[in-house]
Amino acid sequence: MLFAANWKMYKGPRETRAFCAAFRTPEGVEAVLCPPYVSLQAALESEHPVFAQNVHWADEGAFTGEISAPMLLELGVHGAIVGHSERRQYFGETDETVRLRTEHALDAGLRVIACVGELEDQRERGETEAVLRRQVSFLRHHENLVIAYEPVWAIGTGKTATPAQAQEAHELIKGLLDVPVLYGGSVKPENAAELLSQGHVDGALVGGASLDVGSFTAICQAAASL
């Protein structure tokens, strides 16, 4: 199983070094750390695999504030998150730009965690399947691609999809594209084991609970004990 710690806009280099020194990946799982850009180098000083939180679709150019795949590879970064719901919500990310970023990163040699998921009003209107089908249709199969299903209504809200809801969504996604699928949406030590025991759940994209080394370790250990 794969576990990605998405630190969002938290942890500068000092806090990153402290976390890396304290964290040990439990036997039998893979854990990657996804710090902010300014902390990538600090995380890379450890033995832990490191992913960026975003990546541009061009190698270089007049794209102020963006970072390219070759730049990440030169640092030693292993992969990137693409299309997180917060990028879609706050920074105008679309299904098409997610496709461009994903394809370019994969072609460059990075691993990619591409995020999909429905809004709360879309779920309430019964549109979850249609939304997931549309978002996944922009992605293509690749051995280094992982999809993260993140119901947007469960991001940072304390709400969590039930194990049955997660299983249903993951089964749908895997029926569309044969790649591993992570669950992302208020994963914490208290609910990790039940979510991860579902047959179509291949790990987790962990947000707030990954900021504490003990909490993230406990989530990883929940999988290791299954």
Q: Cα 226 from chain centroid?
A: 21
Cα 70 to Cα 61, 114, 115, distances in angstroms:
12, 19, 22
Catalytic: 150? yes
78, 93, 150, 170: the active-site residue: 150
Query: Do residues 23 and 215 make contact, with C-beta atoms less than 8 angstroms apart?
Result: no
Catalytic: 84? yes
Burial of 173 (0-12, 13-18, 19+ CB in 10 A): buried
84, 104, 170, 200: the active-site residue: 84
Backbone φ and ψ of 6, nearest 5°: -90, 105
| CA dist., res. 199 & res. 203, Å (int) | 11
CA dihedral 46, 49, 50, 56 (to 10 degrees): 150
**Which residues does the annotation mark as catalytic?**
84, 150
